[in-house]
Every structure is written in C-alpha cells, then in structure tokens.
Amino acid sequence: RLPVPKLEDTITRYLNAQKPLLNDDQFRKTEELAHAFEKGIGRELHEQLVAQDNQNKHTSYITGPWFDMYLKAREPVVLNFNAFMSFNPDPKPEYNDQLTRATNMTVSAVRFMKTFRAGYLEPEVFHLNPEKSDTEIFKKIIRFVPSSVSWFGAYMVNAYPLDMSQYFRLFNSTRVPKPNKDELYTDEKAKHLLVLRNGNFYVFDVIDRDGNMLKPSEIQAHLKHILSDNSPAPAFPLGYLSSENRDTWALLRKNLLENGNEEALKKVDSAMFCLSLDDFPIKDYVHLSHTMLHGDAANRWYDKSFNLIITKDGTAGVNFEHSWGDGVAVLRFQNEVFKDSTNTPAISPQSQPASVDSSRAVQKLDFKLNDALKAGITKAKQRFDATVESLSLNIIQFQEGGKELLKQKKVSPDAVAQLAFQMAFLRQYGQTVATYESCSTAAFKHGRTETIRPATVHTKRCSEAFVKELSKHSTEELQKLIVECSKYHGRLTKEAAMGQGFDRHLFSLRFLALSKGLPLPDFYQDQAYARLNHNILSTSTLVSPAVQLGGFGPVVADGFGVGYQVHDDWMGFNVSSYPSRDGKEFLQCTYKALEDIFNVLKGKKIGS
C-alpha cells in the first residue's frame, strides 16, 4: 500500500524544496507558516487522512483526490493534459506503408487487449537485479507461490510487482464532459473500433459474436475501404468539440444528445480505441511532435483513453488522455504493440485484403447538427487554431555522450539532465524556479505519481558556479559540486518512488480540508506555496526500444514542457513553450550546460 508519509518529514522536505526559490526573509515567513501548520490544523488533517486511509485498504490515499483534480479541471485536455509518445519506425522499411502498419498495429492492439482481459498478460515488474529475477526459473517458482505472499518472494530478489489497476481503462473508454466534473466511461462489451480520417468518423467491429478477433485480412480490407473513401471533409468537423473548455463542451454535448446523436456518440465513447489516419507524411521531428501532441483536431478525439495516430508514411504515435492513467500503462501497451507488430506482423506489404463487403461492415457515422452546434464547432476551431498557433516545439539532440559515460564517472544520468535544465534556466533568465519531475509510484497499490523537486540548494550552488563564477572554481571543485547534486537527486528520486515525497501528501491534506468545508489553512495561502506549485519547468523522462520521442504542453502559460530521453551515448530533448518563453534558446543553453558538465567530468578546463 502507498504509505502516508510522516507529517514532520513532509514539512522538512517541503522546506528543503522552498529554500532555493526564496530569499532569507521569504523563507523565514514560509518556515513559520509551515511549523504552525505542522503543530496545528495540519496535524488534525493528517490524523484524519491516516484514519481514512486505514478504513480504505482496497485503494490508496491519493486515488480520490487525484481523479478529482483531473476530472474537475475545466481547461481543454489537449495541450494541457494529454501527452504523446511516438513509435520508432518498423525496422523493415516496406512495413511502414500506412495501410500495412495500421493493420498490424490494430491487430497487435486487439491481441494485447484480449491477452489482458483473459488474465494472461505478464505482470509488470520492476527488476532491480534482473540477472536474478528476470529469469525463467524465477517465473516458474513464483508461479506456484500463493498470491497473498508471492509479492514477498519477489521482494526477496529485488523484483517489485507494479500496480496494473489502470490498464482496464486503456480500451473501450472515454472521458465524458459534464458540468463541473467529467466522468470516465468504459463499456467492455463493445466490439468496434473508431477510425477517423479527413474529419470523418467510421466504425467497424474488430471482434465477432464469439469474441474472436476478425481475420487480419478483413481488418486490412476495412481500413483500405476507409483510406480509399473520397468523401469530402465535413464542413463542421465534430473532433473540434473534444478540444474545448470542458464546461462549454459539456453543454454542446447535451445539445448533441438532444439533437438525435445519442447512438453515434455512444459508438464513439464505447469504441475499443480511436485510430486516427492522417493524409500527410512527416517532415521532421518538430512536425512529428506537433502532429502527435495536437495535430488537426478535426481528425482526433482527445477524450478517448488514447488515439493511435498513423500518418501517410506510416509514422505512428499515441496521444493519451491523462485522467484515467499514467505513462507506465501506456508505455507497456506501446512496448507490446511495437514488439508484436514488428516481430510477428499479421500481414505483409504483399498481403491481399480479404474479399469482404466493407461498404456494409464499415459504418460512417452521421451527426445531425443544428445552428448552435455549428456555431460551437466554429468557435472551438478558432480557439484551437489560435492556441496551436501560439505553441512552439523545439527539439535538440546532444551527441557527445550519455548514460554510459556518466555511469563511468559515477554520477546519475537523470541528475545530470536535471542539473543542465537548472543551469540553462539560470543562464537564460537569471533565476531558479519551481521545477517538477514526474515519478511513478506504481510499486504501490493504486499508486499514481509523486513529484521529484529537482531544483535544490545543490543545483543552485552548482549552476551559479558554472554560469556566474566559473573563474573562481577549479575543475576538481566543479566535479565535487556535480557529484553532490547527483547524490541528492538520487535520494529525492528514491524517496519519491517509495511514496516519500511531499507534494501528494500536502495535496491530499488540502483536498481533505476543502472537502470538509474548512477554511483553507494559512499555510496554503502562502504566496510561496502557490509559486512552488506554478511549475515553470515541468519535466518527464522515459526510454524504451519502442518509443522515438515523447512530449507534452507547458503546464503554465509562462512555462516549459520538457520531455527528455537519456540513451547510452546520446540525449534527446523536446521542449514546448508559449510566446512568453523562448524554447529554442532554452535548449541551446541546455546544450551548453551539458557540454560544460561532460567536459568537467572528463577533467577538462572550460571557458565561460
């Protein structure tokens, strides 16, 4: 179970995170408020939270508040919450044909779903010592241990089973807009796939009456039928509605339902997933990022648990809605689909589609729109286009080293990437700001995420040494500062993964106070608390053989959304921003910071 941290630990960790962001006077005030909270109302709330947690052993203390936070948010899901991960190309170039890849990936996705629902999907396990635990013999032994104690057997060899309670929402699920708070809807009985092309909506069954998957050649025939349909794009594409403010969209949806679209909307909501087929090839990485992060809203349904997007040249990616689950569930899905569709593809480029009557099997959905709905779509399009117009995405690759060299030098690769962001922001804007790094707590029942706070007194000291006072420090001193950052970052990461951060705990105490109708404690009204939660640098990392790159929008208007990957001998960065911040310059500063760090670790003297 996810532990509720001790209140005194949470307050200490919170103050440690505030220290680099505040001057002495501000810090003293924040410290006073924090200690008063710890002794007073905070203690009462904490005891109530612990009592509540003990009564709800089937779940975790964060589950309720976290779903609530996502589902009550009224901002559009696109760019604010939805993230993307794009697949690597199929290693066999001829298999990247759009129809071939769409068929193979759809088949693999259905296989994954059927395996999961039948209870045969291999458990998700984090192996700290894979030589001992990620072996056939261990799997054979653990299989016969009763499940009530099998997790303990896994712990003995440093293997940690991860929570998979989110997985059922991967399929046949959607987020339904409602006034004030959305709802998650899942219909596991539905057998059809939703396909979007050129703003038109199509559905066809991928599972037959007996629960078996359609033959791959039939799925291929139906997708070929959709790809060769030359119906014009709708004048009022419905997809734009899923990009709207949630309250606005809730009202428009009510109108849609009252206007005779109930059947069609049910098909959209209950579909296994949304396959979006785009009619253009990808130009470069930036174009790829724009396409997968937002694309053309006419050809997306952002409320579905995920959209599998495949462009004209077979480039594929997943855009996923975030309230139902986190990156770990989506990543497992992508890893399995990539492996299955490339190792054992269902069809080849030479395969002939089945001779079936696709015009009968494939239903094109028709939506009845009144003037209010047409006006709503037009307005949604204008708003969406303006937002996308103001979004910048910048990408850079650092080819001078990666994980291997850093591990040789005994420093954490993630700590070095995070230190580079701190140095870059200091060089560009002259300050240290609230920084967020996401960390999964899936090692616990119904765990979600915890925040690592990478801006520390150590990164601030090190960044200032590199950026402002280079001439004052020897190479050895700079090396020491880097190592200090790495050690402390390693500790923060370990604490977060073990459910010992402070963000979710404080968030839950605040949620509890508000749900009990109590006045908001002074601690939460501190400007410093608000500033710490205004995450100007929002960062997230992943590395997988299936994923080419990932990204997300900034979480605040004056922020950066930083997706990054640290590979064996290179690093990749994908940064989103709005006009008040310059993402291109931020990446140039990040590149310089990495060059400086690597040179210092190699014992070279660096010039300013």
Residues acting as catalytic residues: 322
Distances, alpha carbon 521 to alpha carbons 44, 156, 321, in Å = 12, 43, 32
Report the distance separating Cα 348 and Cα 344, nearest Å: 10
Buried b (16+ CB within 10 A) or exposed e, 441-478: bbbbebbbbbbbbbbbebbbebbbbbbeeeeebeeeeb
Distances, alpha carbon 148 to alpha carbons 145, 217, 254, 441, 442, in Å = 8, 44, 46, 21, 18
Q: Is-contact 210 346, C-beta < 8 A? A: no
The one-letter amino acid code at 455 reads A
Report the distance separating Cα 320 and Cα 300, nearest Å: 11
Beta bridge partners of 195: 202, 275
Would you call 359 exposed, middle or buried from its count of C-beta atoms within 10 A (0-12, 13-18, 19+)?
A: exposed
DSSP string, 501-570: -SHHHHHHHHHHHHHTTPPPPHHHH-HHHHHHTS-SEEEEE---TTEEEEE---SSTT-EEEEEEE-SS-
- Of 508, 575, 506, whose CA–CA distance to 536 is shortest? 575
Report the distance separating Cα 374 and Cα 382, nearest Å: 13
- Tokens for 146? 């009763």
- Tokens for 581? 């911040």
- Tokens for 483? 């190592």
β 159-161/173-176 pair status: unpaired
- Tokens for 420? 């580079």
Length of the chain counted residue by residue: 608
